[in-house]
Chain A
Amino acid sequence: MKSLLRFLRRYAARNLPHYALGLVALLLTNYAVVRVPALIGQALDVLGEAGPLAAAAGQSIALELILWAVIVVVARTASRILFFNPGREVELRLAIDLFRHLLALQRPFYATRKLGELVSVAINDISSVRLLIGFAGLQVFNVIVAIPMHLAQMWSTDPVLTVWCLTPVLLGAIYMQRVVSAFYGLIRRSLELLAGVSDRILETYSGIATVRAHAAEAAMIRRFDERSDAYLAVLLHLSRLRAFALPLLSFTGLIGAAIILWIGGDRVIAGELKIGALATFTALLVSLVGLLTAVAWVLTTVSRGLVSLTRVDQVLDTPTGVPPATDDYALRAPPALELRRLSFTYPGADAPVLSDISVDLGPGRTLGIFGRTGAGKTTLINLLTRVYDPPPGAVRVDGHDVLALDQDRLRAGLAVVPQDPFLFSTTLRDNIRLRGERSGHVRGADGEAAREGADDWAEVDDPQLTRVLDAACLEDDLRALPDGLATVVGERGVMLSGGQRQRVALARALYRAPPLLILDDILSAVDQGTEARLVAAIRGLRGRLAGDATEPTTAPTTVIVSHRTSVLEHADEILVLEAGRVVERGTHDALIAAGGVYARTHDHQGAEGDHD
Chain B
Amino acid sequence: MTDPKDSSKDERGGLYLLRRFWVYVRDHRRWLLLGLLMIPVVAGMTVVRPLLLKHAVDVDIPARDVHTLRVTALLFLLAVVLEFISQAVQVYALQRVGHVTINDLRRAVFRHVLRLPARFFDKNPLGALLARSTTDIEALSETLAFGVFTILTDVVMILVVLGAMFYLDARLTLISLAVAPLIWILVRVFSARLRALQLEVRKAQAVQGGYLTEQLAGATVLQLFGRQRAAVAEFERLGGRYLRTTKTANIYDALLFSLIDGISALCIALLIYFGAPGVVDGSGLTLGLLFAFIDYLQRVFVPIREFSGKLATVQRALAALDRVYGLLDEPAEPRLPEGAPDPLHTWTGGLRVRGLRFRYRQDGPEILKGIDLDVAPGEVVAVVGRTGSGKTSLGRVLTRAYDGYQGSVQLTCPDGQTHELSTLSPDALRRHALLVQQDIFLFAEDVAFNVALGEPELSGDPEALRAALRAVQAEALVDERGGLEFQVGERGRALSAGEAQLLAFARVAARAPTFLILDEATASVDSVTEHKVQRAIEALLRGRSVLVIAHRLSTVRRADKILVMDAGQIIEQGTHDQLLARGGAYAQLYRMGLDAA
Contact = CB atoms under 8 A, between A and B. Distances in A.
B315 to A, nearest CB: 22
B57 A278 contact: yes
B100 interface: yes
A208 B121 contact: yes
Contacts of A425: 214
B259 interface: yes
Interface in A191-226: 194, 197-199, 201-225
A439 B453 CA distance: 42
B126 A206 contact: yes
Contact of B250 (A81, A373, A442, A512): A81
Contacts, number: 429
A64 to B, nearest CB: 8
Contacts of A240: 92
Contacts of B298: 283, 286
A486 interface: no
A99 B261 CA distance: 40
A219 B70 contact: no
A255 B77 contact: yes
B224 A115 contact: no
A243 B269 contact: no
Interface in B196-222: 203, 206-207, 209-222
Contact of B273 (A62, A258, A601): A62
B226 interface: yes
B526 A372 contact: yes
B88 A408 contact: no
A160 B72 CA distance: 21
A103 B91 contact: no
Contacts of B233: 437
B89 interface: yes
Contacts of A118: 216
Nearest to A601: B527
Interface string A42-53: 011001101000
A180 interface: no
Given A43-B272, A387-B220, A601-B527, A261 B56 contact: yes
A596 to B, nearest CB: 14
Contacts of A529: 592-593, 596
A66 B238 CA distance: 44
B255 interface: yes
Contact of B401 (A58, A212, A449): A212
Question: 8 closest Cβ contacts across the A-B interface?
Answer: A219-B454, A80-B254, A58-B276, A243-B92, A529-B596, A73-B262, A62-B273, A65-B269
B61 A269 contact: yes
Nearest to A113: B216
Interface stretch (B11-19, B106-114, B466-474, B580-588): B106-114
Contact of B439 (A115, A209, A239): A209
A354 interface: no
13 contacts: A66-B266, A99-B232, A205-B133, A213-B435, A219-B452, A219-B454, A220-B114, A231-B103, A265-B56, A412-B226, A415-B224, A605-B527, A609-B596
A160 B80 CA distance: 23
Given A76-B257, A106-B223, A221-B110, A440 B427 contact: no
A564 to B, nearest CB: 7
A267 to B, nearest CB: 10
A442 B207 contact: yes
Contact of B239 (A95, A223, A236, A258): A95
B220 A76 contact: no
Contact of B287 (A48, A217, A235): A48
Residue of B233, B237, B247, B279 with most chain A CB atoms under a 10 A cut-off: B279
B331 to A, nearest CB: 15
Contacts of B211: 440-442
A239 B265 contact: no
A19 to B, nearest CB: 15
Contacts of B228: 100, 103-104
A244 B266 CA distance: 33
Nearest to B440: A210
Interface residues of B, number: 159
A412 B261 CA distance: 60
A135 B83 CA distance: 31
Interface string B502-521: 00000100010000000000
Contacts of B426: 212, 215
Contacts of A604: 527
A205 B226 contact: no
A438 interface: yes
A123 interface: yes
A212 B80 contact: no
Interface string B558-597: 0000000000000000000000000000000001111110
A591 interface: no
Contact of A36 (B213, B265, B436): B265
B307 interface: no
B218 A440 contact: yes
B274 to A, nearest CB: 8
Nearest to A258: B77
Interface in A49-81: 50, 54-56, 58-59, 61-63, 65-66, 68-70, 72-74, 76-78, 80-81
Contacts of A92: 239-240, 242-243
B219 A102 contact: yes
Nearest to B80: A254
A268 B61 contact: yes
B477 interface: no
A564 B524 contact: yes
B380 to A, nearest CB: 19
B294 A40 contact: yes
Contacts of A122: 212, 216
B106 A228 contact: yes
Given A220-B454, A221-B110, A68 B118 contact: no
A344 interface: no
A115 B216 contact: yes
Contact of B84 (A251, A266, A490): A251
B56 A229 contact: no
Interface stretch (A82-90, A394-402, A574-582): A82-90
B218 A422 contact: yes
A425 B95 CA distance: 40
A206 to B, nearest CB: 6
Given A212-B426, A261-B52, A441-B211, 18 more contacts: A50-B279, A54-B279, A105-B219, A198-B130, A202-B130, A203-B443, A208-B118, A220-B114, A220-B454, A239-B95, A283-B294, A387-B224, A418-B221, A438-B234, A440-B222, A441-B234, A604-B527, A608-B552
Nearest to B210: A442
A85 B268 CA distance: 32
A35 to B, nearest CB: 9
Interface in B413-465: 426-427, 430-431, 434-437, 439-441, 443-445, 449, 452-456, 459
Given A96-B232, A103-B215, A243-B95, A275 B523 contact: no
A355 interface: no
Contacts of A84: 250, 253-254
A67 B596 CA distance: 86
B276 A47 contact: yes
B76 interface: yes
B154 interface: no
A201 B107 contact: no
Contact of B430 (A66, A85, A214, A221): A214
Contacts of A78: 254
Nearest to B593: A609
Contacts of B57: 275, 278
Contacts of A524: 523-524
A373 B591 CA distance: 29
Given A73-B259, A213-B436, A434 B227 contact: yes
A270 to B, nearest CB: 9
A418 B224 CA distance: 11
Contacts of B115: 217
A440 B210 CA distance: 11
